[in-house]
């Protein structure tokens, strides 16, 4: 695979970053994941807007222009012959030469890394037909989940807990209310109403979330942006999650209890279809 690091395209085994890079030592970096279907990027513009916001919130320089980011994405898709899959993009605060809690001096070059992951048949993921089972765990992440940082240890632990319990993912719960999934936004459906937590610093402002809510509104579905409990979700008609890589993924079981009739719901199925139709 050919990857990108700081301006160079290299075979992955020749691409290197310093051990003093703040991304490595301090998780001091941000990232984006953009899906590729039929060799085309999905919602690239939305992801770049959020990348710039994440960088600004952490007072990190933005090393490339929008066009440069787009060019690297396109070149990597081409060089790696990606039809379906994703492009991963990471910007860290770079290499100050030593370990120090204080940020490095202005002008220290951020480290930019991009690579592709091929995933043939991504849009036809069979899991969308059967749905995910999930568990709930306490949300023990930091308080700025709106910034897409590479500080992903807690979501990884939650994913491992889900795997150990034989299910697909975990929903994170804070003060009795669901925040989001380990790497996706969480929704329930009651009747014809789609319910999802309102945007704040408590959750990532999903690019897929924004698109799905826009399509739901256009299709005259009702949307309520408010928090909900696991109990309310278990008693809802449907549940689902959204992310750049899962698109719209139905959730059929929460902490061992079937959601609705325990089958993939009509609203989630329709939203997935609309999303894939509109985005390609």
Residues taking part in catalysis: 148
Contact set for ligand PDD, span 9-68 (CB under 6 A): 33
Q: Does 80 bind ligand PDD (CB under 6 A)?
A: no
Q: What is the DSSP string of 155-186?
A: HHHHHHHHHHTT-SEEEEEETTEEEEESSSEE
Q: Which is nearer to ligand PDD, 33 or 199 (CB)?
A: 33
Paired tokens of 109: 């070059």
Residue 149 DSSP one-character state: B
Pick from 22, 93, 133, 209: which binds ligand PDD (CB under 6 A)?
A: 209
Using the rule CB under 6 A, is 168 a contact of ligand PDD?
no
Indicate whether 183 belongs to the interface with ligand PDD (CB under 6 A).
Answer: yes
Among 245, 250, 267, 275, binds ligand PDD (CB under 6 A): 245
Going by the DSSP 8-state scheme, the letter that residue 217 receives in this structure is H
Q: Which is nearer to ligand PDD, 95 or 170 (CB)?
A: 170
Residues 116 and 1: beta-carbon distance below 8 Å: yes
Nearer to ligand PDD, 86 or 260 (CB): 86
Choice from 54, 196, 234, 242 touching ligand PDD (CB under 6 A): 242
Asked if 208 touches ligand PDD (CB under 6 A), the answer is yes
* Alpha-carbon dihedral sign for residues 46, 275, 179, 199: positive
Structure-token match 């939203």, residue found: 271
Segment contacting ligand PDD (CB under 6 A): 69-77, 119-127, 202-210, 232-240? Answer: 202-210
CB of 169 to ligand PDD, least distance (A): 11
Residue of 96, 104, 131, 206 that binds ligand PDD (CB under 6 A): 206
Determine contact, residues 27/73, Cβ cutoff 8 Å: no
**Paired strand residues for 248:** 242
Q: Give whichever of 35 and 95 is closer to ligand PDD, judged by the CB atom.
A: 35
Establish if 116 lies at the interface with ligand PDD (CB under 6 A): no
**Size of interface with ligand PDD, in residues (CB under 6 A):** 14
- Rounded Cα distance, 86 and 240, in Å: 21
Which residues neighbour 250 within 8 Å (Cβ) at sequence distance 6 or greater? 128, 131, 132, 238, 239, 240, 264, 265, 268, 269, 272
Per CB under 6 A, the list member of 184, 196, 227, 234 interacting with ligand PDD is 184
Rounded to whole angstroms, how far apart are CA atoms 264 and 248? 11
Q: What is the CA radius of gyration of the chain?
A: 19
Question: Does 136 participate in binding ligand PDD (rule CB under 6 A)?
Answer: no
Give least dist CB 30 to ligand PDD, A: 11
Q: Which residues bind ligand PDD (CB under 6 A)?
A: 33, 180, 183-185, 204, 206-209, 242-245
């Amino acid at each position: 695979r050919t990857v990108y690091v700081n301006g160079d395209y290299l075979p992955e085994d020749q691409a290197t970053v310093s051990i003093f890079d703040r991304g490595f030592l301090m998780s001091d970096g941000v990232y984006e994941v953009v899906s590729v279907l039929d060799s085309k990027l999905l919602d690239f513009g939305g992801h770049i807007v959020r990348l710039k916001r994440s960088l600004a919130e952490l007072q990190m320089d933005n090393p490339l222009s929008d066009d440069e980011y787009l060019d690297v994405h396109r070149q990597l898709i081409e060089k790696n012959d990606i039809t379906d899959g994703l492009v991963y993009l990471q910007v860290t605060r770079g290499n100050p030469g030593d370990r120090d809690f204080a940020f490095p001096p202005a002008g220290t070059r951020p480290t930019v890394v991009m690579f592709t992951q091929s995933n043939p048949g991504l849009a036809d993921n069979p899991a969308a037909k059967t749905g995910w089972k999930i568990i709930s765990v306490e949300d023990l992440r930091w308080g700025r989940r709106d910034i897409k940082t590479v500080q992903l240890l807690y979501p990884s632990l939650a994913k491992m807990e889900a795997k150990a319990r034989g299910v697909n993912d975990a929903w994170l719960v804070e003060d009795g209310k669901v925040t989001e999934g380990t790497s996706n936004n969480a929704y329930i459906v009651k009747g014809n109403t789609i319910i999802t937590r309102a945007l704040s610093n408590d959750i990532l402002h999903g690019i897929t979330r924004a698109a799905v809510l826009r399509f739901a509104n256009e299709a005259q579905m009702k949307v309520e942006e408010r928090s909900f409990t696991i109990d309310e979700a278990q008693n809802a008609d449907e549940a689902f999650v959204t992310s750049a890589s899962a698109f719209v993924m139905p959730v059929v079981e929460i902490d061992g209890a079937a959601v609705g009739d325990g089958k993939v719901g009509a609203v989630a199925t329709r939203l997935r279809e609309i999303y894939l139709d509109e985005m390609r």
